[in-house]
Amino acid sequence: MKIEFIDKKLEDINSDLELIVVIDKNFDHDFVKSYKDVLQEANFSGEQDEVMLLAESKKLFVGSESLKSKDIRPAVASAIRVALDKKYASIKMATYLSHQKCTATMRALAEGAILGAYRYDRYKSKSKEPKLKELYISSQEYNSKEVDKSAIKRAINKGVETARAVNFTRDIVNTPPDDFYPKIMARVAKDIAKSEGLEYEVLTKKEIAHEKMNALLSVARASSHAPRVIHLSYKPKNPKAVVSLIGKGLTYDSGGLSLKPSDFMVTMKSDKSGGSAVLGILQAVSRLKLPIEVHGFIGAVENMIGGNAYKPDDVLRAKNGTTIEVRNTDAEGRLVLADVLCYAQEKVEANYIIDIATLTGACVVGVGQYTVGVMGNNQKIVDKMLYAANVASGEMATNLPFNRYLKKTLKSSIADICNISNTRYGGAITAGLFLEHFIKDENKQKWIHLDIAGPAFVEHAWGENPSGASGAGVRMVTRFIEKLASNEHHISE
C-alpha cells in the first residue's frame, strides 16, 4: 500500500472510503456527530481497535483510546485490515496530532497502515491481491491544529520505512522451513546488502570450522542443510556510535535428539525470527540513513535429528575455548549464539552489543505471548531499550533481572558450563546468563539480550500484528538506534 500526504482539505480529496479515528466515545466530535445515531444503533461503542464500516456513507470508523502512538498504531492497522478485504481501492483520512509540534502520532498512523496492510498468502493457490492500494492523508488536522507539513511528511516517511522493514522480516519468518534454510538466509542477506549498499560477508561450513565455532557446528550437524554465519554492515561516514546485532537464525528447531513433542514443534519455522529481525533492522537503519554504524551477525542453522546428531552428554568447545556440557539438545539457540557472540566481539569493537533470539519458552510463560524479555548487566541500556520499545515503538517489553544465585545453576561437573540450568525456575534468565558467559569482560556493560520467543510468532492477529510472524524486535531496536543518533553521549554508561 502507498501513503500520500496531500495538502488539501479532506472534502477536496477523492477516494473510495474515509477513515475516521474515534477518540471521543460520546461521538460529539465534528467528524463523527452526524453518524452518532447510526453508530449507536449498530452497537459501535468506540472501544480500542473496534471497527465499523458504514458502506452507504463510505465511512470507516475505528476506536482509539487516545492520540498516543501506542493506541493510534493498532487502531489504524485494525481498520486497514478490515478495509483490505473489501472493494475499495483508496482511502483517505485526516492528520492527527496529539500536540501542535509533535508528529509521533503521524508516524504511528503510517506504521499502523503499512503493518495492517500486511498479508502472507504466497502459498494460497488462489491468492487475491487486496484491492486497497492508496491511503491519502489530508493536511487538515482532526482538531483543526495548524500543521508543519514538512515535519509531517518526514514522520510519515519514517513510519513507512520502519513498517516496510517489519513486513520484510515477517515474510522471512513466515516462509516454510523447506523453502528457507541457512543458504537461503544468506542469499536474502546478500540481496539486501546489494539493494541497500551494505557490506556483506558469509562464512560457509569450512570457514565456520576454521573459526572454531564448534558449538554452532554441533547443532547444525544432523541437518542436510549446511549452516551459515552471516555478517552485514552498514557504515555511514562519521558514525556517532557502533552497534553490533546478533540474531538467532534457527531456520528450524525440531529440538534435536531431545525432540520436541509434535504440538510444540509446529511454528518452529519461527525460530529464525531473531536473525530475520536483524535483517529488517539493517534495512530500516540504512533506509533511514541513521548516522550509526550497525553490524548484523546471524547464526543460520537447522536443528535436526539423525545418526550424526549431537547428543545430550556431549561436551562442546565453543569459539572462545569454553567447554559446554550438553544436557538438552533443544537448548540449541544459546549454543549457536555463544559462538556468534564470540565471533562478533572479535570482528567489531562496538559500543552496544544486542542479541535478539526466540530463546526460551520460559520467557513466554513468564511475561506472556506479547512481550519481549530484556536482560543485561547495564540497567541504563536496559531502560533505554524498554523506553524505545514501550513508549516509542509500541512493542511491549519488560526487564527480567539477573542475579548471582541463578548464575550458579548453570554449573557443570564435567565442563565449564552446562547448556541448561539445574532448576526448572527462571529459564529465560538462566538462558540470558548462559549467553553472558560468552561476553568478554570489557563488553559486559555494553551487552543486552532480547528474548522474543513470545511475540515473534502468534497464531492470531493482535493490535497491529497479523496472525503468524510479527517482525518482533525490528521497531524497538530501530528506535533504540535512532535515539543513539540523537544523543550526544553515545558511549555506553
Site residues (CB under 5 A) for Zn ion? 250, 253, 271, 330, 332-333
Which stretches does DSSP call E strand in 235-369? 242-253, 293-303, 315-317, 323-325, 352-357
Task: Give CA angle at 468 (467, 473), nearest 5°.
Answer: 110
| Residue 242 binds which of Zn ion, ligand BES, none (CB < 5-8 A, kind-dependent) | none
Residue type, 327: R
Question: Can you give the binding site for ligand BES, defined by CB under 6 A?
Answer: 253, 271, 328, 330-333, 358-362, 364, 420, 427, 453
**From CA 355, how far away is CA 311, in angstroms rounded?**
26
- Report yes or no: 141 and 94 within 8 Å, Cβ to Cβ: yes
**From CA 6, how far away is CA 433, in angstroms rounded?**
51
Nearer to Zn ion (CB atom), residue 273 or residue 478: 273
- Active-site residue, selected from the candidate residues 334, 446, 475, 479: 334
Minimum CB distance to ligand BES, residue 126 (Å): 31
Nearer to ligand BES (CB atom), residue 234 or residue 402: 402
Minimum CB distance to ligand BES, residue 260 (Å): 7
Nearer to ligand BES (CB atom), residue 331 or residue 385: 331
Q: Which residue has the cell 539486501?
A: 192
Minimum CB distance to ligand BES, residue 56 (Å): 45
**From CA 31, how far away is CA 106, in angstroms rounded?**
18
Nearer to ligand BES (CB atom), residue 365 or residue 391: 365
**From CA 441, how far away is CA 437, in angstroms rounded?**
9
- Report yes or no: 273 and 173 within 8 Å, Cβ to Cβ: yes
- Report yes or no: 130 and 119 within 8 Å, Cβ to Cβ: yes
* Whether 86 is catalytic: no
**From CA 362, how far away is CA 366, in angstroms rounded?**
6
| Residue 427 binds which of ligand BES, Zn ion, none (CB < 5-8 A, kind-dependent) | ligand BES
Nearer to ligand BES (CB atom), residue 18 or residue 330: 330
Nearer to ligand BES (CB atom), residue 202 or residue 316: 316
Distance of CA 380 to the CA centre of its chain: 21
Minimum CB distance to Zn ion, residue 250 (Å): 5
Q: Are strands 51-54 and 228-234 parallel, antiparallel or unpaired?
A: unpaired
* Whether 107 is catalytic: no
Q: Which residues pair with 417 in a beta bridge?
A: 324
| Residue 71 binds which of ligand BES, Zn ion, none (CB < 5-8 A, kind-dependent) | none
Q: Which of 80, 96, 86, 251 is nearest to 173 (CA)?
A: 251
**From CA 177, how far away is CA 271, in angstroms rounded?**
10
Nearer to ligand BES (CB atom), residue 271 or residue 464: 271
| Residue 362 binds which of Zn ion, ligand BES, none (CB < 5-8 A, kind-dependent) | ligand BES
Q: Which residues pair with 374 in a beta bridge?
A: 399, 450
DSSP 261: P
- Active-site residue, selected from the candidate residues 86, 145, 260, 327: 260
DSSP 384: H
Minimum CB distance to ligand BES, residue 298 (Å): 15
Nearer to ligand BES (CB atom), residue 186 or residue 431: 431
Provide the edge-to-edge strand list for the sheet that holds 90-95.
Answer: 2-6, 134-141, 90-95, 17-22, 59-63, 51-54
Minimum CB distance to Zn ion, residue 271 (Å): 4
Q: Which residue has the cell 519458552?
A: 361
Minimum CB distance to ligand BES, residue 255 (Å): 6
- Report yes or no: 77 and 464 within 8 Å, Cβ to Cβ: yes
**From CA 393, how far away is CA 482, in angstroms rounded?**
11
| Residue 453 binds which of Zn ion, ligand BES, none (CB < 5-8 A, kind-dependent) | ligand BES
Nearer to Zn ion (CB atom), residue 22 or residue 304: 304
Tell me the three cell numbers of residue 312: 545430550
| Residue 361 binds which of ligand BES, Zn ion, none (CB < 5-8 A, kind-dependent) | ligand BES
Residue number of the CB atom closest to ligand BES: 361
Q: Which of 322, 359, 336 is nearest to 449 (CA)?
A: 359
Residue 287 has, within 13 A of its CA and on its CB side, a CA count of 20
| Residues tagged active-site | 260, 334
